[in-house]
Structures are given as structure tokens and as C-alpha cells.
Amino acid sequence: MERGSLGFRDLQLFNLALLAKQLWRLLYYPSSLLARILKSRYYRNTSPLEVEKSNAPSFGWRSIIAAKDLLKKGLRRTIGTGDTTLVWRDQWIPAEQPRLPKDSGMYQDPLLFVSQLMDPISKEWKLDKLVDLFDIEDINLILSIRPSRFQRPDGFCWTYSKTGRYSVKTGYELAVQLKDLLAPQQIVQPSTDAIKSKIWTIKASHKLKHFAWCGTEEETINHMIFECPPAVETWNLSGIPKLPEIFPRPSLFYNLDYLLWRAREKGATETSLEPFPWIMWYIWKAQAWKTAQLTPAPVENNTTADQSPTEATLVIRPRCQVDASWVYNSSFFGGGFIIDTDEDAAHTGGLTSSQVSIPLQAEFRSLIWAMKMVKQLGFSSMRFESDCLELVRLLDDEDDWPSLAAEIEEYCSTLVSFQFCSLVYIPCVLNVRADALAKAARARENICLHVNSTQPLELATIANSNGIS
């Protein structure tokens, strides 16, 4: 509905998005029965994304491969060991859209693998090699990638969904965008998309909304509704301000634009504008105009009721509250934690790290770092609290998150070192201390971390002002 349409799909593009789903499953589940059968027949020594021609392919295989270009537009390689990802051929840079890395102007070895950019023992990036090969922008993006320490193979993620899993919805949206980019633009007047979308929000019956929406170029709607003498007299009686050279005009676009937006700027009230769909309808029906008494449509209440008190509002110690601070276009994100114990002692920590692509990733990495620090401080059991509900649900969800594969792997390996460990959601108002630590860490703008055995005075003040015990 964003473009003012009725929401019907382009069936050809929708079918392509459905086929891309099947191709995604071949990539993501290579051990499935279907993937093994098709691999033995069509891409024995390569990937389904690299197949060019097949000998006597079936109709089903030709259909699946037809979606290859669409899927490749949104795929990014996720780095595990880096052994199967070529630096200059595969799209592995975690930018907003999948792309190849930007070079520094030096020779590009076509057979250079990502694993060759890492130290084989520590699994850390070789900074000197990154500086030699890549543009400074990409160096920061590469440093935000965490290579696997447990031999996790390289994989794929779909960059147009949060989870990194391909969905038909996002695939279809991308296909529509690509089609629009390739379509010739014939601009003979301003786009009517915004007007068509706005019409669906007016307070009127569905019949009137459809009438106002469905005009075509062949119909002389503008003359009948706005310019003929009975129509002009009707608009004069309506109470809607009539301005020379502004309303009415010999253009349906400008007249609807005036009724939907500009009239308010000229002093028209909501009450005076409310009947205009009815006016248009009755003029069209060639009936005598009469004032329409519109009853405002009941507003659906989408607000969910406040949750009843749960364990999230209980004070259970020892506990560790964690938060992250992420800002778009910043070079760093910040993480913070505070530990409360039965002895009223407090440990605090702050982390400043290279920027990551989404806030959820910053929250996840801050949690993992806090878990490691808690373990180093000698705690074997801990209740972690976060105001990121999406993170809590992610860890409760059994579905895969390819976009966060590295973080999930590191979280699981850290989790097993605890005798007891839980993560619960708390409201933001109860997590202001960790939030303050995270924001302070991000403001440092240089990679560092610290852990203190005392609670700064300003955090105690924040806690008291928010009633946190």
C-alpha cells in the first residue's frame, strides 16, 4: 500500500521470490536430501549460485536457477574460518548492501582467501595486511567481523532481513525495487503515489475511498467534479476555501493534493474538509448535493495492556544488568554492565568497540563481553538483565539467525562455563545505570574496556532518582 495501490502482487516477481526461497534452501541446508540430489546432477563441483549451463536440465531446475540473480543481489558471505570465501570475488563486507571490498590500489590476488587475512593461532585479523589491501572504510567493517574460533564454516546470510534468513516477503520487495530501477521513467506530471496512499486514510466508507482512488487518464473526472457549473456551486457551498489559481484547477492531481494537504495550510479546518469524499461522490452521481454527516471511524486500539508484574521487576541477586549504545554512522558502539550482589558491592564495566551493522548486534556483543567479565570476576552463577526484548527472544528462539552466527557461537561457548546463567528482560527505566555506562563508553571513540570494583557516585545518583534498589 506504500505506493497507493490495492496491494495486488506482480505475480511474475512473486513467483521469482518463491523460487529464490528454494535456491536459498539449497545453500543453507546443503545436507538435505533435495540438495544432495540436485548437487549430484547439476552442480557436483561448485555452488548452485555459480552454475552456468546444465545438460538437459529439468523444468524444475531451470525454474529455480531463474531466481539466481535475485538471490545474489541480497546475499552476503558470513565468515567462519574464511577458508572458502575469496577476498576479491565474494561479497563478504558487512555493509548495508552486499558488495565486494574496496581495495587500496595494490595488486589483487584473485585466489586470496579471507582466512589468509587472519592469524592462524589467535584467529584475529592481521591489521598490517588489512591496511595494505583495503580502503580505510572497509578496514573498520572487517574488524567488526568475528572469525570463528571453533572451525565454523563460512556461510550465507540474507541482508534484507534481521535474522539473515531469506523470506519471500523481502525477496519480493527487492525484486520490485530492481524492476523499478530498470523501468524507463516517463514523467509527464508529479507522481500520484502519495495522493493515492493518502486517500486510503481518509474517514469515509470503502466505496468512497475506491471512487476517489480509481481515476484514470482517459476519464474526464476533473471537469465533472471540479469545473462544471453545478460542481463549482457545490464547492462554493461546502465551506472549503476556494482560492483563485489554486483551487479548483484544471488538474485532478492538484485538486486532490489541495484537498488532502494544502487546504490545511490555507486555514481549512478538519471539520470543513471531512465531507469532501461525499461531495465528490454525489456530484458524480448527478444528485443534489447535501451535507454529509460522517461518523468518525472508531480508532482501533493497538496498544497492548501493560504486563502484570513478573520476575523482571523482582530484585534477585547476584544480577548483572547489561546495555549497549549504538548510533548510526558512528565508528564505535559502547557497552556497559553493572553487577549487584547481596553484600551491596558493585562491579561496573565499560566497552568501546568497532561499530557493527545493527543495534541488536551491539546488544549481543555487549552481553557476551559482560558474561566473560563476570566469569573472570569469579562468579559461576549469574542472572543477566537486558532491556533489549529482541535479544531475549532471539536466545529463546530455536530458529537460526545467520546474520548473528558468530555471536551465537561465542555466546554458546561462554554459556557452558557457568553453573547457572539466565537472561531476562527488564524495562529501560530499570536499566538506566548500564545505559549510562554504555553511552559513556561510546563517547570515548577509541577501542578500550575497563572493569571497576566500585560504583561511581553518579550511577548511585541515577539509581536513587529512578527508585532502583
Task: Give mean pLDDT in consecutive 10-residue pieces for the chain, a chain of 469 residues.
Answer: 57 93 93 93 90 85 93 94 93 91 86 93 91 90 90 92 92 92 61 64 63 50 66 71 68 73 74 75 54 37 39 69 92 93 80 91 95 93 94 81 90 92 92 93 86 68 57
- Per-position b or e across 54-93, b if 16+ CB within 10 A of its CB: eeeeeeebebbbebbebbebbbbbbbbbbebbbbeebbbb
Kindly give, in sequence order, each residue whose CB lies less than 8 Å from that of residue 33, ignoring residues fewer than 6 positions away. Answer: none
For residues 338 and 319, give the distance between their C-alpha atoms in angstroms, rounded to a whole number: 8
Task: Kindly state whether residues 461 and 364 are assigned to the same domain.
Answer: yes
Q: Count other C-beta atoms under 10 Å from residue 22's C-beta.
A: 17
Q: Give domain status of residue 354, yes or no.
A: yes
pLDDT reported for residue 243: 67
Q: Which domain holds residue 43?
A: 1-72+172-183
Task: Kindly state whether residues 176 and 29 are assigned to the same domain.
Answer: yes
Q: Which of 175, 17, 159 is nearest to 96 (CA)?
A: 159
Task: Kindly state whether residues 11 and 28 are assigned to the same domain.
Answer: yes
For residues 12 and 150, give the distance between their C-alpha atoms in angstroms, rounded to a whole number: 43
Q: Give domain status of residue 306, yes or no.
A: no
Helices (H), 144-227: 168-182, 193-199, 206-213, 221-222
Q: Give domain status of residue 242, yes or no.
A: yes
Give one word for 160, left, alpha or beta, with left for phi > 0 and alpha for psi -120 to 50. alpha
For residues 49 and 56, give the distance between their C-alpha atoms in angstroms, rounded to a whole number: 18
Task: Kindly state whether residues 47 and 178 are assigned to the same domain.
Answer: yes
Q: Give domain status of residue 305, yes or no.
A: no
pLDDT reported for residue 185: 56
Q: Give domain status of residue 299, yes or no.
A: no
Task: Kindly state whether residues 197 and 340 are assigned to the same domain.
Answer: no
On whether the CB atoms of residues 89 and 114 are closer than 8 A, the answer is no
pLDDT reported for residue 465: 58
Beta bridge partners of 315: none
Q: Give domain status of residue 269, yes or no.
A: yes
Task: Kindly state whether residues 331 and 419 are assigned to the same domain.
Answer: yes
pLDDT reported for residue 336: 95
Kindly give, in sequence order, each residue whose CB lies less than 8 Å from that of residue 423, ignoring residues fewer than 6 positions away. Answer: 367, 384, 385, 386, 391, 392, 395
Task: Kindly state whether residues 179 and 263 are assigned to the same domain.
Answer: no
Task: Kindly state whether residues 35 and 98 are assigned to the same domain.
Answer: no
For residues 177 and 167, give the distance between their C-alpha atoms in angstroms, rounded to a whole number: 16
pLDDT reported for residue 17: 94
Would you state the cell numbers that stand for residue 404, as one nine-digit string?
548473528
Total structural domains within the chain: 4
Task: Kindly state whether residues 317 and 460 are assigned to the same domain.
Answer: yes
On whether the CB atoms of residues 428 and 388 are closer than 8 A, the answer is no
Sign of CA dihedral 357, 360, 362, 364: negative
Q: Give domain status of residue 291, yes or no.
A: no
Boundary residue ending a domain (284, 299, 321): 284
Beta bridge partners of 449: 351
Boundary residue ending a domain (162, 183, 204): 183
For residues 300 and 43, give the distance between their C-alpha atoms in angstroms, rounded to a whole number: 53
